[in-house]
Amino acid sequence: MAHSNDHKHGNGHEHHITSQGKLASTFLFLAIMMAATIGAAKFMPEPFHSKTIPMNIIAIAIAFVKAWAVVAVFMGVRYTTKLVRLYAIGGFVWFFLLFIMMADYGTRQWEPVRGWENVDASSLPRDPKRVEGLEDAKSRHEMVSPGASTPGEDHAAEGGH
Amino acid sequence: MAGHGHSHAIDHDGPEVYLQFEDIDQQQESYVLGMWAFLVTEVMFFGALFFIYFLYRLKYQSDFHILSEHLNWKLGGVNTFVLLLSSFSMAMAVHFAQKNKKAWQLGALTVTLLCAFGFLVIKYFEYSEKISGGLVPNDQFKFHYHYAANADVARMFYSLYFVMTGLHGVHVIIGILCIGTLMGLIIKKHSLITDYIPTEMVGLYWHFVDLVWIFLYPLFYLIPK
């Protein structure tokens, strides 16, 4: 039948209309969370500001809270059917499962794989010749360090030594 | 007549229920489900890029922090607020569509469109500053070592920055086209627009675009030490 005169609901579900007040309060919440993200990153007092792991956790936690608010209220997942919720949550579960690949990258230093040695990032060589596509290391040195008046200022030219 | 004794969010004329669906609820749920299936593919699309970002940031945290300090976090913050506002106005447009208030719906969609254009304008200023500063990671990459970060890491950082924010920008442009088309169809009272579902589907896409930026902004502009 092209037109349905039967108003029986599929699975007894009535479509929810999110109120304007709820939408406005969610927007206000998101704006506050955004300010909190910036505040935590730029205006945190010094003992905490230098602590990498807690700062990363705070930033990601705030981002996830904001994402939850957008997905649950603005996208209506909170009020939708279980099947739609399954798809929505399933997609983000997939994203987390993607990080299983870290098992590969995290264990490469267990074997001598070139380029994945467990070295401090600041001791990486800064030899310009290692950069692809640049044939003349000297011209690159001249190109990239116009502000360096002495060789000592340019760490890259010395190859990180 | 539709809606007797039920709080359906549908037009009085009611959308047509096609042969394969049991009732209007199932039909509407299938449309929303189809849109979510597409959004899951978008999660996969961006997810892979976020993974690459995560991998290199984990390895070069301090260099990424130094490089992120040279991005304009204030402009990025304005962009974030603009997109949040656009997401709110899009949600309001869906609300008005459900209440069958066409004028308010078009007003909300206009605000969304203006916010989207505002985002692109701000992005244009950011990109042109970087392009003129030689920070596009091609053979003209002018990386100044007094930034105290490794040049290869800088190339990786800016590659990720331009690819991820550029791809996001492309999605914003597509969103603008979708919203513009939707507004045109509503104004022309096109037969495709019989209820709130087209607006809801465009809204789902737009909220996803906002969601991606909610993660992009702190990951590129606000990297801790």
Give residue-wise pLDDT tens across range B31-70: 999 999 999 999 999 999 999 999 999 888 888 888 888 8
A2-24 pLDDT, tens digit each: 444 444 344 444 578 899 999 99
Q: Give how far B124 is from chain A: nearest CA, Å.
A: 22
How close A113 gets to chain B, by Cα (Å)?
A: 15
Higher model confidence: residue A57 or residue B225?
A57
Q: What band does A34 get if pLDDT is binned at 50, 70 and 90?
A: very high
Looking at this protein, which amino acid is placed at residue A131? V
> Quick one: pLDDT band at residue A147, thresholds 50, 70, 90?
very low
Asked if A79 reaches chain B (Cβ–Cβ under 8 Å), the answer is no
**pTM (two decimals):** 0.80
CA distance B40 to B44: 6
Q: How confident is the model at residue B13 (pLDDT cuts 50, 70, 90)?
A: low
pLDDT in tens, B121-174: 999 999 999 888 888 888 778 766 545 667 788 889 999 999 999 999 999 999
Q: How large is the ipTM?
A: 0.87
Interchain CB distance below 8 Å, A144 and B143: yes
pLDDT tens digits, A50-77? 777 888 888 889 999 999 999 999 999 9
Please tell me the distance in Å from A110's CA to the nearest CA on chain B.
Answer: 16
The residue of B82, B88, B89, B194 whose CB has the most chain A CBs within 10 angstroms, and thus the best one to mutate to test that interface, is B88
CB-CB: which of A23, A154, A155 is closest to B92? A23
**Residue type at B191?**
S
Q: What per-residue confidence (pLDDT) applies to A118?
A: 61
